[in-house]
């Protein structure tokens, strides 16, 4: 039924070696005449070479795996698009995997990607490998991996593309502090993971630098969801009406924060100011629009993919890459003079 290189060879009265040369655009080794003849037949019968068969002999698949928590989150969607653009520019196709921050799912996906013999993997990790046996196996395979967004201890051997999360947290907190008050809270995402804790460090640094004593009850964690931001704000502000500024661990969290504040009839920014991190596209659509520390999200994905492809091609491109962030002031904070 399916038509193969053999069929084309027979129809053209040549060997399949010659057809192979033609479909792979080998400059030499085929006369213009036979090349044309073969191309014509391929076109007429609608032959499509089987890249899987090819891949088993050349041991490269021109595919890459992308593992992110959830495409529905604008942040990861933007990241995914950056990856996909770069990869398609270089002739690669990408497998999309949604891990939901679930270590088990992540393992399943990584395994599937290995079986599919992807040339490399871009990983926004859900943390360390819980399954240490799998970790060893994965290590041994020694497939090119580029990290994005988050690091993890188990993945130290891999390089990646990130932002400086300490700096981002510092910038956000410092800007809040510049409002002339001291009571600034940090409503963070998932406790323990790289980004969350680094942003906390930045928060802490800014607080201490301002000569303020860090109040532990002003620091709470949850996860990276609207709901989490919402709930944490409700309970935090109920206890601490003196809080004047909230540094939200991400824009998504910040949206939940603002929602909660509205429900409590607290005015943003007049009574409480809010700053997020990410600058996802909705940040400017909500009311009040969100002041945030912008990440070059698309670029992170794009660069990570570029880095991966270099890696695959054994091009020297060492070390982690840190892309710069930028504070974007909108309406969830008051005007500074």
Binding site for a copy of itself (CB under 8 A): 2, 43, 46, 48-53, 55-56, 59, 61, 63, 66, 70-72, 74, 77-78, 80-81, 84-85, 88, 93-98, 108-109, 111-117, 133, 136-137, 140-141, 255, 259, 281-282, 285-287
**Half-sphere exposure for 118 (CA within 13 Å, toward CB):** 27
What are the residues facing 326 on neighbouring strands?
294
| 14 near DNA, judged by CB under 7 A | yes
CB within 8 Å of 334: residues ≥ 6 apart:
179, 269, 270, 273
Query: What secondary structure letter does DSSP report for 32?
Result: H
Tokens of 170: 């510092």
Of 10, 11, 39, 54, which one interacts with DNA (CB under 7 A)? 54
Residue 78 binds which entry of DNA, a copy of itself, none, with Cβ cut-offs from 5 to 8 Å by kind? a copy of itself
Residue 30 binds which entry of DNA, a copy of itself, none, with Cβ cut-offs from 5 to 8 Å by kind? DNA
Q: Where do the H-state alpha helices sit in 161-285? A: 165-177, 194-209, 226-239, 251-263
Of 52, 72, 68, the residue nearest 60 (C-alpha)? 52
Binding mask 21-50 vs DNA (x if CB under 7 A, - otherwise)? x-xx---xxxx-xxx-------------xx
Residue 111 binds which entry of a copy of itself, DNA, none, with Cβ cut-offs from 5 to 8 Å by kind? a copy of itself
Of 248, 254, 175, 258, the residue nearest 218 (C-alpha)? 248
| 15 near DNA, judged by CB under 7 A | yes
What are the residues facing 294 on neighbouring strands?
278, 326
| 18 near DNA, judged by CB under 7 A | yes
Tokens of 55: 């891949």
Of 53, 210, 214, 267, which one interacts with DNA (CB under 7 A)? 53
Q: Which residues here bind DNA, judged by CB under 7 A?
A: 2, 4-6, 13-18, 20-21, 23-24, 28-31, 33-35, 49-50, 53-54, 56-59
């Amino acid at each position: 039924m399916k038509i193969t290189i053999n069929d084309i060879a027979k129809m053209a009265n040549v060997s399949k070696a010659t057809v192979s040369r033609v479909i792979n655009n080998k400059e030499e080794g085929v006369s213009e005449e036979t090349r044309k003849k073969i191309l014509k037949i391929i076109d007429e019968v609608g032959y499509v070479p089987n890249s899987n068969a090819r891949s088993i002999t050349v041991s490269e698949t021109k595919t890459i795996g992308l593992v992110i928590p959830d495409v529905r989150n604008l942040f990861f969607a933007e990241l995914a698009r950056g990856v996909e653009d770069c990869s398609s520019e270089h002739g690669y196709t990408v497998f999309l995997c949604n891990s939901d921050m679930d270590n088990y799912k992540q393992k399943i996906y990584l395994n599937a990607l290995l079986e599919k013999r992807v040339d490399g993997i871009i990983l926004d990790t859900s943390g360390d490998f819980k399954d240490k046996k799998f970790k060893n196996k994965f290590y041994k395979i020694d497939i090119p991996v580029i990290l994005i967004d988050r690091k993890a201890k188990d993945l130290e051997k891999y390089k990646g593309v990130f932002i400086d999360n300490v700096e981002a947290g510092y910038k956000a907190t410092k800007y809040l502090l510049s409002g002339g008050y001291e009571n600034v809270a940090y409503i963070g995402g998932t406790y323990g993971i790289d980004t969350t804790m680094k942003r906390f460090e930045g928060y802490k640094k800014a607080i201490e630098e301002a000569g303020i004593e860090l109040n532990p009850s002003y620091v709470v964690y949850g996860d990276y969801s609207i709901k989490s931001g919402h709930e944490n704000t409700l309970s935090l502000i109920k206890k601490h009406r003196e809080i004047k500024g909230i540094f939200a661990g991400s824009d998504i969290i910040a949206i939940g924060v603002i929602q909660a504040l509205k429900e409590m009839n607290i005015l943003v920014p007049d009574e409480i100011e809010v700053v997020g991190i990410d600058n996802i596209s909705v940040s400017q659509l909500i009311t009040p629009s969100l002041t945030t520390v912008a990440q070059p999200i698309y670029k992170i994905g794009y660069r990570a993919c570029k880095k991966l492809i270099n890696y695959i091609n054994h091009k020297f491109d060492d070390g982690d890459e840190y892309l710069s962030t930028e504070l974007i002031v909108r309406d969830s904070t008051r005007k500074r003079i």
